[in-house]
Structure 1
């Protein structure tokens, strides 16, 4: 059968399912139907993440895997008890009960994703949101101006622009408007707080932040604006926004006498405990893990407490000496593999992605190490790119000295992967030796292989 005809039939099958399920669940209030295609996806699937503050404490391990066919098409019926934000690739979605949304998702560039069906205008609006880790309105530095006043004017003009675009939406809930207005405000604070560091980077300035002549009035002009926007910006509902959580230190700084700050400080403490669990995992510190458990049990807010305890339980099962958790990956030849395929040998794993600059800087060191100790273990270089094609393109015409594989954050969720690069060693008995080595050339790794 012609491949194009087969793909069309597959897509029609998804559409039929869409309408059947749409009718079936029309009167059920806790379902939403998503149907569409992930551009460039050839059956690898994609992960749908909840973006709220409780999920962050869990390292987003409560995410949902969406299977795709060989052309990237998918159909999923999700259960949700209320409207909420979700992330898929770099796209932020707002999904409500009873929604039926058709979408064409570009995982790298949300601005060219397309939507139709229920809430399509909301999804299109969200696709225009700047990314907080690119310092929002500065967009990675490309919007930086030479003069401080021009930067302030630009940032505030972007706020006005987004508010106008938000105001054009019709048939949206008051709560959505409320939260998106807060996101816009948070993006102003993010932009102003990070302005100097992006300015320094974009113009190649080497002196300290307070020594940049063009920004000499930063404290007298930008800081008052930050304070104005941060003051009384303390509704605990805002914690559901990752942009807001990104500026909590600023919010706390300018609201020390505000009683509404209590739940925000409370979440910050849970977030700190979550980070300490990560640190205890890196150092195999069982004593610290036990202490943290006692600290967490005595804290208020059941949802946050259970989330952090859940994370601690997961980490406690993967400290040094515990059995490794198996996971699936695909090698560069398209073969399906498992970590356990290499049981009986020491396994050194490098978790990386093509979009991760520190990963690319350190990758050659990992490859050198593999050549030095090629007779002492298996070296797995596992890409966590959401776009498999991008990973394969990166490998093209490169000398491959390790086993190159492709997996996902979801598949490795039991390993508490929060950031990359990340290095893991599994010993010959398939037990965890180290969950988070400093880097591939660190002394602990050299000592391990020299002792084999």
Structure 2
């Protein structure tokens, strides 16, 4: 049996707990699975029959992050079997819950087509009319596909409707962030559900908490972000993101939704931004979920290991020529580390800025890009196609501790070290706004 470690991101909102069986019947079964409950990894082993048991209480989606990202849907009493060669190849499902999960495979194909047709570089050049025409086409494709299936689950279609609407809303919000004005002509031509992502928004949708990757909570954060921007001004004495935390607590009436939103939003703030103490204190004061408080407290305390002025954890990573490099290879200059992946749209959006940064400061600093949570083949293809002139490294399992100590659970992530390898910032600004910090140090 091929031994793999898979990272499963599983978000659970528990009341009454039921044992859920999932059986792997692959030619190359994984041996160990790591799944994440509320951002914390838990390791579980398959038994000799390829079976694992989850404790779940409600219908929920979770994602398996292998070379191909997959979403699986579970309900209490499902008896699901995964068939195929390996989780990195084509798979299918049998048993109770198979219809729902085979549908998700077909949905993934539409998402892949959407990603190709509306990638970041295409979006920059699309007219508003062309964009909304295409996004409406894909919205129709999603719902046509959904309606082609007769599901066993009573709630699955409702959850998938929410998921599709949030997927479309996410794309529209991304586009509108760059093309801000929506003309009267566009508003008259396209459905309001397309042009206004927040149309009929439900701030207390407990069902949507079952969706993968805190998708609903992330959508709420964008809504509150817009609301706060209308009245927030510098000099009020409060931090902007702290205002979002506070505003949400006053506008979400359902305690379960509020706790989940505060947890997801505050986790991102503490993980990636300065003023961690401000966000931590605000979260502790507003949240009523004791388990969430324990997890956020653990995250907050973990940053003391990689705080400013401390020696950075080391790594041993491979470059695109097969050489093994460590941080010792980069001592003597400031080192700007960029952790990224080929599938990550914000990472690709930052690529031109990285090129500009290298042209301007490449002789004065080390710029080190690290491919992480990615396929090495896709990473190699990208390097070969674009030929970046700064150092390119790829993740090796023996250096997992480096990423764990910096609590790297998503990309992009930026780290800035001084010439001795000491930490300047464990969550540095992106290339578009790092220049001020560099000028202060050079």
TM-score where L is the length of structure 2: 0.64
Give 3-state SS (helix, strand or coil) of 1:357's partner.
helix
Q: Indicate which of 122, 126, 130 corresponds to 2:104.
A: 126
Between structure 1 and structure 2, the one with the greater Rg is 1
Give 3-state SS (helix, strand or coil) of 1:425's partner.
strand
Would the aligned equivalents of 2:132 and 2:194 in 1 still touch at CA under 8 Å?
no
Match of 1:360 in 2: 351
Provide the rounded CA distance (Å) in 2 between the counterparts of 1:278 and 1:95: 29
Match of 1:184 in 2: 161
Give 3-state SS (helix, strand or coil) of 2:424's partner.
strand
Provide the rounded CA distance (Å) in 1 between the counterparts of 2:367 and 2:195: 49
C-alpha change, 1:302 and 1:426, in structure 2 (3 Å) is: same
What does the per-residue CA deviation read over 1:79-138, in whole Å, with 9 as the maximum and x for residues that have no partner? Answer: 63237522324321235787542345686xxxx832255555443211233699999899
Q: Indicate which of 186, 206, 216 corresponds to 1:244.
A: 216
CA-CA distance at 1:366 after TM superposition = 4.6
Would the aligned equivalents of 1:196 and 1:209 in 2 still touch at CA under 8 Å?
no
Would the aligned equivalents of 2:21 and 2:54 in 1 still touch at CA under 8 Å?
yes
Would the aligned equivalents of 2:82 and 2:91 in 1 still touch at CA under 8 Å?
no
Match of 1:140 in 2: 118
Would the aligned equivalents of 2:19 and 2:53 in 1 still touch at CA under 8 Å?
no
Would the aligned equivalents of 1:329 and 1:338 in 2 still touch at CA under 8 Å?
yes
Aligned residue pairs: how many? 379
CA-CA distance at 1:406 after TM superposition = 0.6
Match of 1:396 in 2: 384
Query: Are 1:264 and 2:257 an aligned pair?
Result: yes
Match of 2:305 in 1: 317
Give 3-state SS (helix, strand or coil) of 1:316's partner.
coil
Would the aligned equivalents of 1:135 and 1:191 in 2 still touch at CA under 8 Å?
no
Give runs of aligned pairs for residues 23-422 of structure 1, distance below 5 A. 32-34=22-24, 36=26, 50=36, 54-55=38-39, 62=41, 80-82=54-56, 84=60, 85-88=62-65, 89-94=68-73, 99-104=80-85, 113-118=90-95, 120-129=98-107, 140=118, 157-158=140-141, 160-167=143-150, 169-170=151-152, 174=153, 177-188=154-165, 190-191=167-168, 195=172, 198=175, 208-211=180-183, 213-216=185-188, 227=199, 230=201, 234-242=204-212, 243-248=215-220, 261-278=254-271, 280-281=273-274, 288-298=275-285, 299-339=287-327, 346-355=334-343, 356-368=347-359, 371-373=362-364, 378-384=366-372, 386-396=374-384, 401-407=389-395, 411=400, 412-417=403-408, 420-422=411-413
190-199 vs 179-188, greater mean Cα deviation: 190-199
Would the aligned equivalents of 2:340 and 2:371 in 1 still touch at CA under 8 Å?
yes
186-195 vs 83-92, greater mean Cα deviation: 186-195
Match of 1:3 in 2: none
Provide the rounded CA distance (Å) in 2 between the counterparts of 1:148 and 1:398: 27
Query: Are 1:434 and 2:421 an aligned pair?
Result: no
C-alpha change, 1:214 and 1:379, in structure 2 (3 Å) is: closer
TM-score where L is the length of structure 1: 0.63
Give 3-state SS (helix, strand or coil) of 2:118's partner.
helix
Would the aligned equivalents of 1:159 and 1:188 in 2 still touch at CA under 8 Å?
no
Provide the rounded CA distance (Å) in 1 between the counterparts of 2:322 and 2:22: 33
Provide the rounded CA distance (Å) in 2 between the counterparts of 1:402 and 1:184: 44
Give 3-state SS (helix, strand or coil) of 1:437's partner.
coil
Give 3-state SS (helix, strand or coil) of 2:261's partner.
helix
C-alpha change, 1:291 and 1:135, in structure 2 (3 Å) is: farther
C-alpha change, 1:116 and 1:319, in structure 2 (3 Å) is: same
Provide the rounded CA distance (Å) in 2 between the counterparts of 1:121 and 1:182: 15
Provide the rounded CA distance (Å) in 1 between the counterparts of 2:382 and 2:138: 35
Match of 1:20 in 2: none
Match of 2:414 in 1: 423
What does the per-residue CA deviation read over 1:37-67, in whole Å, with 9 as the maximum and x for residues that have no partner? Answer: 89xxxx9x999664x7x23xxxxx527699x
C-alpha change, 1:354 and 1:221, in structure 2 (3 Å) is: closer
Uncovered stretches (5+) of structure 1, i.e. residues with no partner: 1-9, 15-27, 56-60, 67-74, 282-287
